[in-house]
Chains A and B, each alone.
Chain A
Amino acid sequence: MIVIRIGQLADQLGVHRNTIRNWIRSGRLPARSMSGKRYLLTESDFAKICQEFGIDRSVLKLKHVPGAPLMSREMSMLEENVRPVDLPSGQLLVDPTWGEVCITCGSCASACPISGVDGMDPRKLVRMAVLGIEDDLLASQWPWKCTLCGKCERACPQNVEIVSLIQRVRGLRERSKLPGPLHKGVLMCLDKGNNLGIPREDFVSLVEEMSQEMVEEGFTGFRSPIDVQGANLLVSVNSKEPFAEPDDMKYWWRIFHAAGESWTLPSVNWEGVNWALFTGDEDSLRTIVGRLVENMYRLECKTLLLPDLGHSYFAARYALNRWFKDDLKNFKVTNIFELLTGYINDGRIQIDPSRHRKITTFTDACNYGRRSLKAFGYGYFEEPRAIIRKCAPNYVDLYPNRADDYCCGAGGGAWAMPFKEERVYYGRFKARQIENSGAGLVVTACHNCRDQIMKSLRKEYDLKVDVKYIWELVADSLVLPGGRAGRP
């Protein structure tokens, strides 16, 4: 048997890597994928392709291993050239529950929506860690195509901490080799206080401008919320909104206004994104969450609203529990579901249920649901459904749902990473779920789900649905004093 790496072989044969890939895909070069982007093929198959393409085998540097293809009983394994098993170094598997307890039953691999893509599957990934194939694992793109959705862990009968392992693999990769803009975003956030490097003055003047618009739209008395000392609620912002979709910020503003909330946006370190969770960079994750805590003290706020992005909510909750336990004595923490539920139940906002008549469904955000359930013992499944039913009574659930719901395909940083094909392919499950539900409106609780469905899946899978954030739905259902609609 011969072990090849596509890049190497392409160089040696003088063809493009995709050519080799095409050969393999078409069956012209019958190869079996191995761990670490390597392929295994028989001597005779390789000889055949060399002959066909007039390649002189003798000049090629090839790695030979004894053995025969899968399931053959005749192969003879000799002692040369076989990879030795290394002990897991402990840098990857901090605990046997991260890998060694795996019984290789395949539940995770059957659950993962992108098993098989690029040879990846969570079981192989865990196995590589267990057998100490660490360099290949760190070099692999597999961990970066994973959306950290936790569907595999949910299915795992042995409770293997697959997501923790993958996050650790991500964290151990050399920072300069991280795919896409994730690490650059983290660096920018650490440096400038937000991922996109928006200067303080620009942000403040944008918010002031928008506040003026709010007043013009009829929200009498709306004032710029920047740095309101002693406000009840401290709110963060996803930097994509001031950068590209500033109007989207107003959904929350309208709700706060209607509820008579005392709230504020910090003028600095207001970033609601925390890509350090995606890059497995615990130090930066802590720093970024720490800045929200600093803002709480600086502005003497009473309640911190955890960021409205799924991952960032999770990162903040995780970091607060882990590193800021003492600070939690000094202020309260809430999240979007608790906040909206409170507004509705306490009668602080009025909802008009007649404005959304389409069949409406909700896609569970992995970080609010399944992952919270596992990490914190409670997942937000019923709260969003109760809120949505108030605004759009014609509600149906997707199947599966709640802790078993599928990820949209854009989690784990996938929305920002350069693996579009995989991301779209991943989303086929979400698309089919939505189609089968018959819904005309999909409500999301996370920016990535919303962007994936609205901007990608709708087009790719021809979905005829509207997509709204849950706070957008609430804002659009608001009955303002005097019976006015919440929508300008």
Chain B
Amino acid sequence: MIDFEEKVGAVMVVGGGIAGIQASLDLANSGYYVYLVERTGAIGGAMAQVDKTFPTNDCAMCILSPKLVECGRHLNIEMMTMTELEKLDGELGNFTVTLRQHPRYVDLVKCIACGKCADKCPRQVRDEFNQNISFRKAIYVKYPQAAPLKYQIDPLNCIRMRGGRCNECERVCPCGAIRFEDVEKTVAVKVGSIILAPGYRPFDPSGLVAWGYGRFKNVVTSMELERYLAVSGPTGGQVLRPSDGKKVRKMAFLQCIGSRDYNQINKSYCSSVCCMSAIKEATIATDNDRDLRVSIFHQDIRTHGKDFERFYDKAKQKGIVFHRCRTHAVEPGESPHEVSLRFITESGKQMTEQFDLVVLSVGLETTPETAVLAERAGIELTSNGFASTSCFAPVTTSKPGVFACGAFLSPKDIPLSVIQASAAATASAIRLSDVRYSLSHQRQFPQERSVEGEKPRIGVFICNCGSNIAETVRVREVARYVESLPEVVYVETNLFACSQDAQEIIRQRIREKNLNRIVVASCTPRTHEQLFRETLRASGLNECLVEMANIRNQLAWVHKGEPEAATAKAKDLVRMAVAKAALLEPAPPVSVRITPQALVIGGGLSGMVAALALADQGFPVQLVEKSAQLGGNARHLFKTWKGEPVPDYIESLTNQVREHSLISIHLKSVVSDAEGYVGSFRSVVQKPTGSVVINHGVTILATGGQAFKPTEYDYGLSPNILTSLEFDKLHAVGDERIVNGRSFVFIQCVGSREPERNYCSRVCCTHSIQSAMALKEENPARRVFILHRDIRTYGMREELYRRARELGVIFINYDMHQKPNVVVDESGIEVIVWDHILHEPFSITADVVTLATSIIPNPETRELAKLYKLPVDMDGFLQEAHVKLRPVDFATDGIFLAGLAHYPKPIEESIVQAQAAVSRAVTVLSSRWVDLDLVRARVDEEKCDCCALCLNVCPYEALEIERDPDATGRENGKQRLVVRSAKCKGCGSCQATCPKEGISVNGFSYGQLSAQVRAALTGSGTAN
């Protein structure tokens, strides 16, 4: 055991992609100090390069950049860019990590990212962030939204660093931030555990000459296409032919380039994400340009994630053509700007088609640098170069105290990376829970000054945003104009209003000029309002006294090249903000006490993992299970896809849960009623012995799923037609139907990917393949057929698919013709199926037919969701807050989800999701109080007459009518409207409904909004 004193309450996260960012934020928000180590000059990783994310087509940068900002501002995250792990000493709880920091040649503190250096730098270099499509300078910032937003010099290309005579950047830098003499440094830090999230790189296809990458200009990789599609990318979102810059007319995607290839590159795995990213890119490209025609050449289409199948269907409806055929090569086309593809149609005809853009859907692979990192960290890798872990501890590497997440574990999409990141945060924190808060810092704010009775004294800070705003808007002119506005006592322009030094300046001005309202004219409040609110708090002002005018996103960026009109509009926007600011009122901070106990609903695998991970960190857990025993569906499973025995694991897990002193188990129990909000829930649990009330700070829903019972394929007519789970049981007990069987048929997608359940159940292909392999291994003379639609053995599971074929399992795709026909008569079972290659029917005499039925959510989930006011999707699965970046959260704070209730998934994904839910829950449980957002409804008791119209429209049940407890005598019986602040989301439905202006939302009251509108209508920027 490690001594308490020796343990270090800090964690190192290596890799600043989305996984590293999420892990860092979770840990920093639950009381640990985090070192976020990134090899390049800025965090953001591959997600920053992606245009949009599937299946919602959300803008990737828009959802990522708030996280970047949060990392940048977080007191407990120390970003260490241009840094690599050099050496790892010590052990779990107390590691010493030696880091090598490469010189940036720019002072991180002094640089204000004004961009003057890059303007002057004479050296143009291909921009790797834009996949070398465009150019950057030798001094550059990785991308416009980078965190930290600091320049860096690329020593390989800088004229000065290469011995030339140039000091342009040094000459123009207004801050003296250039450090040509910067040198490499070695630093050592102490941490309790380490999370490795080094990510992936896209496969480089130039080694495979057949695809013509590098030879034909109009052959690009999918990552390059992302940059073409990005509105902020080098072509402004247009897909142009690299050969001549003309619009693309016909585009083809070639799937599995650098994946599933045993021949020339020996990549045995499926990269999991390329099918969806190709469909996404094709969809975006056709949406942008209706005349564009897109074909996708593929083997299987693997849309096995939540809502992916419908996304695929929509793409087909949009006219995107899917060819179930790979081409062998890209060949010269009929014109110099075209290339030619030859392929076989589904009916077996060979065709040649000309395309003017071919996109290689390149796979994901780990890098040689990652191998070095793994070696230095002392962890084992698989033969494919990914971190080696068990299904039962999916983020735990071979070395205690070292964890892994993201694409480093296997190729995966963003949600799973985010889930694994949170899971890694949990796993790395469990052994450090007793040193939580030992190294973290808490922001301290001075006593708040009352502004009551003061006349508004408004200070306006106008941001140049480097050149972002200044190149379109004449900022000085706007400032002069603003000075003339009523109640404005001070105006200042800043290069970057968001920079650390600008915050210092704002604080200083508030003191000097006795300001009591602040307007910041800069960018979007979405990403920056929180920052300025904190600055106000640090100056002793209430945080509600700041207003922002968005003169970048809604102005400078959309009116490029129109300085006259843009400057006028800027004046309008600032005038409006000033008018509103004058009416801003302080609001008291709302914080809620956290009940440090969790309620976990569902005692299956996910519920047990969640309960145990919470209890191991010292939080009491109430675990509610509706059946008489723990274990759920996992009790019906025998092996993970990696072959590990499930029953042993479940038994040991169940025992740990049962024996844990902090876990109370309620069997044969259901939640019948619930109320409350984050930190303070109150749920009623119906037990066989009566009902109990549980107070809890967070809720985790792990209500599971169940196997669909089919009606088709003559299920039930013969004892030899089974579902997958039934087959497993008979197989395990050595039933004679299986032992003596000579011919076995598996039918896939029974109940899945059907109109009434249009989703893929994710686990069935792997499951059937494992069963088929076992049958063949026992007796190679058996005939085993798998009748399928697409084989979806994503990731490393692809190796199982190959092994099954090596064992002689025969795969027939029935999708092209029709479902197989199962005929039962006295002589036995016959399955008739059309072959997808020979296009003729075959009959198979089967001893046993196994139906791979879909996974459906438990019907009770819907009821439970109603109790907690949570959304479910059209298939009855729980709907998370955001499919990409908040995959285990709900829109309602304090409630989290895990397991099959979310979507069908295999064991290891349920486990990581449960661990992730715990990580999110601990960010709440670990603090005693939680501060709530101040944009909330407020009752004007003068005007409110308790008509209660607002109660009906409030979606959060945040409003209540209560009897005035102080009233006596005649007054007794007087009612009043109360806002349950913790539940209110500030949506404004009440305000819009109230006929008497008796309720308003703080910061968005009618008075404030009409002042803004009046300001917009009266006076105009141009009139000045």
CB pair B817 A71 closer than 8 Å: yes
User: Chain A 55-93 against B: per-residue CB contact (8 Å), 1 yes, 0 no?
Assistant: 000000000011100111101111100111101000000
Which segment of B22-30, B326-334, B877-885, B936-944 sits at the interface? B326-334
Are B840 and A124 closer than 8 Å at their CB atoms? no
A84→B324 contact, CB < 8 A = no
Cβ 8 A contact of B841, one of A72, A82, A151? A82
A399 within 8 A of B: yes
Report how far A131 CA is from B210 CA in the complex, Å: 31
On whether A79 and B808 interact (CB within 8 A), knowing A107-B326, A128-B838, the answer reads no
Check A157 against B839 for contact (C-beta < 8 Å): no
State A484–B328 Cα separation when bound (angstroms): 49
Among A78, A108, A110, A400, find the residue whose CB has the most chain B CB atoms closer than 10 A.
A110
Question: CB within 8 A of A101: which of B210, B806, B836, B838?
Answer: B806
- Whether the Cβ atoms of A104 and B805 lie closer than 8 Å is no
Q: How far is the CB of B786 from chain A (nearest CB, A)?
A: 12
- A33 and chain B: residue at smallest CB distance: B348
Are the CB atoms of B838 and A67 closer together than 8 Å? no
Distance of A407 from chain B, by nearest CB (Å): 14
Cβ contacts A146-184/B at 8 Å (1 or 0 each): 000001011111110000000000000000000000000
CB distance from A346 to the nearest CB of B (A): 32
Query: Does B554 count as interface, using CB distance less than 8 angstroms?
Result: no
Contact A104–B813 (Cβ < 8 Å): yes
Residues of chain B lying within 8 A (CB to CB) of residue A115: 344, 350
| A111-B841 in contact (CB<8A) | no
Contact B807 A104, beta carbon cutoff 8 Å: no
- Bound together, the chains give a CA A340 to CA B686 distance in angstroms of 91
Chain A: minimal CB distance from B354 (Å):
14
Are B816 and A107 interface neighbours, CB within 8 A? Answer: no
Q: In the complex the two chains form, what is the Cα distance from A368 to B51 in whole Å?
A: 47
Is A375 engaged at the interface, CB distance under 8 Å to the other chain?
no
Inter-chain CA distance A71–B834, complex, in Å, is 11
Q: Which residues of B contact A123 (CB under 8 A)?
A: 344, 837
Which residues on the A side are within 8 Å of B835 (C-beta)?
127, 131
Residues in B neighbouring A224, C-beta threshold 8 A: none
B818 within 8 A of A: yes
Q: Is there an interface contact between B832 and A77, defined as CB atoms closer than 8 Å?
A: yes
Q: Is the CB of A157 within 8 A of B813?
A: no
Mask for B796-825, Cβ within 8 A of A = 1, else 0?
000001100111111101001110010100
Interface-facing stretch out of B85-93, B254-262, B921-929, B990-998: B254-262
Given A82-B832, A84-B843, A121-B348: A157 touches B261 (CB 8 Å cut-off): yes
For residue B352, give the distance in angstroms from its CB to the closest CB of chain A.
10
Question: In the bound complex, do residue A110 and residue B808 qualify as a contact, i.e. CB atoms below 8 Å apart?
Answer: no
CB of B842 closer than 8 Å to a CB of A:
yes
Q: Which of B325, B331, B811, B832 contacts A109 (CB 8 A)?
A: B325
Given contacts A70-B816, A83-B840, contact A106 B260 (CB under 8 A): no
Q: Bits for A24-51, please: 1 = Cβ < 8 Å to B, else 0.
A: 0000000011110000100000000000
A116 contacts chain B at the CB level, 8 A cutoff: yes
Chain A's nearest CB lies how many Å from the CB of B343? 4
Residue contact A104 to B262, C-beta cutoff 8 Å: no
Smallest CB–CB gap between B287 and chain A, Å? 28
CB pair A111 B810 closer than 8 Å: no
Cβ-defined contact, B344 with A156, below 8 A: no
B299 touches which one: A70, A72, A103 (CB < 8 A)? A103
A96 at the interface (CB under 8 A from B): yes
Evaluate contact between A105 and B808: CB separation under 8 angstroms: no
Chain A contact residues: helix, strand, loop or mixed: loop
- B326 close to A157 (CB less than 8 A): yes
Q: Hey, which chain A residues are within 8 Å of B349, CB to CB? A: 116
Tell me if A130 counts as interface (CB < 8 A to partner B). Answer: yes
Determine if B344 and A85 form an interchain contact, defined as CB atoms under 8 angstroms apart. Answer: no
- C-alpha gap A111/B341 in the complex (Å): 10
Check if B830 is an interface residue, CB within 8 A of chain A.
yes
User: Do B840 and A34 have beta carbons less than 8 Å apart?
Assistant: yes
- Supposing A77-B818, A106-B324 touch, asked if A404 and B210 sit within 8 A by C-beta, the answer is yes
The smallest beta-carbon distance between B824 and chain A, in angstroms, is: 10
With A66-B841, A101-B802, A116-B349 known as contacts, the answer to whether A77 contacts B834 (CB < 8 A) is: yes
Return chain B residues, CB-CB under 8 Å to A156.
Answer: 263
Distance A209 CA – B833 CA, assembled complex (angstroms) = 69
Q: Give the CA-CA distance A123 to B325 in the complex, in Å.
A: 11
Q: Which residues of A contact B839 (CB under 8 A)?
A: 32, 34, 40, 70
Determine which of A100, A106, A127, A404 lies in contact with B838 in the assembled complex, contact meaning CB atoms within 8 Å. Answer: A127
Q: How far is the CA of A33 from the CA of B349 in the complex (A)?
A: 10
- Kindly state the separation between the CA atoms of A34 and B344 in the bound complex, as whole angstroms: 15
- Chain A residues, Cβ within 8 Å of B838: 34-35, 124, 127-128, 131, 133
Nearest CB of A to B849, in Å? 14
B210 to chain A: closest residue by CB: A404
Identity of the chain A residue whose Cβ is nearest the Cβ of B300 in the assembled complex: A103
Judge whether A400 and B326 touch: CB under 8 Å. Answer: no
Q: In the complex, what residues of B have CB within 8 A of residue A83's CB?
A: 840-843
Interface residues of B in 739-787 (CB under 8 A from A): 783, 785
Q: Given A70-B816, A71-B817, A105-B325, are A82 and B348 neighbors across the interface (CB < 8 Å)?
A: no
Q: A443 within 8 Å of B by Cβ?
A: no
| Highest count of chain A CB atoms <10 Å: which of B808, B823, B836 | B808
Q: Is B976 an interface residue (CB 8 A)?
A: no
Instruction: Say if the beta carbon of A119 comes within 8 Å of chain B.
Output: yes
Across the interface, A65 reaches (CB within 8 A) one of B209, B841, B845, namely: B841
- Measured between C-beta atoms, what is the minimum distance from A366 to chain B in Å? 15
- Measured between beta carbons, the chain B residues less than 8 angstroms from A66 are 841
Q: Is the CB of B326 within 8 A of A124?
A: no
A201 to B343, CA, bound (A): 54
A84 CB contacts on chain B under 8 angstroms: 842-845
Q: Which of A84, A155, A157 has the most CB of B within 10 A?
A: A157
Contact across chains for B840 and A158 when beta carbons are under 8 A apart: no
Q: Does B342 contact A (CB under 8 A)?
A: yes
Q: Could you tell me the distance in whole angstroms from the C-beta of A170 to the nearest C-beta in chain B?
A: 21
Contact B350 A116 (CB under 8 A): yes
Question: For B299, B346, B791, B844, which residue has the most chain A Cβ atoms within 10 angstroms?
Answer: B299
Say whether A220 faces chain B, with CB atoms less than 8 Å apart: no
Which residues on the B side are within 8 Å of A436 (C-beta)?
332
Expressed in whole angstroms, the Cα–Cα distance for A133 and B823 within the complex equals 23
> Distance (Å) between the CB of A241 and the closest chain B CB?
36
Flag whether A97 is at the interface (Cβ < 8 A): yes
Query: A116-152 toward B: CB 8 Å interface, digit per residue (1/0)?
Result: 1001010110011011010000000000000000010
Structural contact, A155 and B329, CB atoms closer than 8 A = yes
User: B805 and A96: CB pair below 8 A?
Assistant: yes
| Interface hits, B296-354 → A, CB 8 Å | 299, 324-329, 331-332, 342-344, 346-350
Name the A residues within 8 Å of B783 (CB-CB). Answer: 85, 87
On chain B, the residues within 8 Å of A102 by CB distance are 805
Point out the residue from B325, B342, B350, B818 that lies within 8 Å of A73, measured CB to CB. Answer: B818
Chain A neighbourhood of B810, CB < 8 A: 85, 100, 130-131
| A306–B368 CA distance with the chains assembled, in angstroms | 43
Known: A109-B344, A400-B331. A85 touches B842 (CB 8 A): yes
- Given A71-B817, A82-B832, check contact A105 B299 (CB 8 Å): yes
User: What is the minimal beta-carbon distance from A84 to any residue of chain B, in angstroms?
Assistant: 5
> Are B328 and A108 neighbours in the complex by a CB distance under 8 Å?
yes
Residues of B within 8 A of A155 (CB): 210, 326, 328-329
List the 4 closest pairs (A to B, CB-CB), nearest first: A111-B328, A155-B328, A106-B325, A116-B350
Question: Could you list 15 further interchain pairs (A-B, Cβ under 8 angstroms) beyond the known A100-B806, A155-B210?
Answer: A35-B840, A67-B841, A83-B840, A96-B807, A103-B805, A104-B299, A105-B299, A105-B325, A107-B326, A110-B350, A116-B348, A124-B838, A131-B838, A154-B210, A400-B210
30 A-B pairs (CB sep. < 8 Å): A32-B839, A33-B348, A67-B834, A67-B841, A75-B817, A75-B818, A77-B821, A77-B841, A83-B843, A84-B844, A85-B842, A87-B783, A96-B805, A97-B806, A103-B260, A103-B791, A103-B801, A104-B299, A110-B327, A110-B342, A119-B348, A123-B344, A124-B348, A130-B810, A131-B835, A131-B842, A157-B326, A159-B262, A400-B329, A436-B332
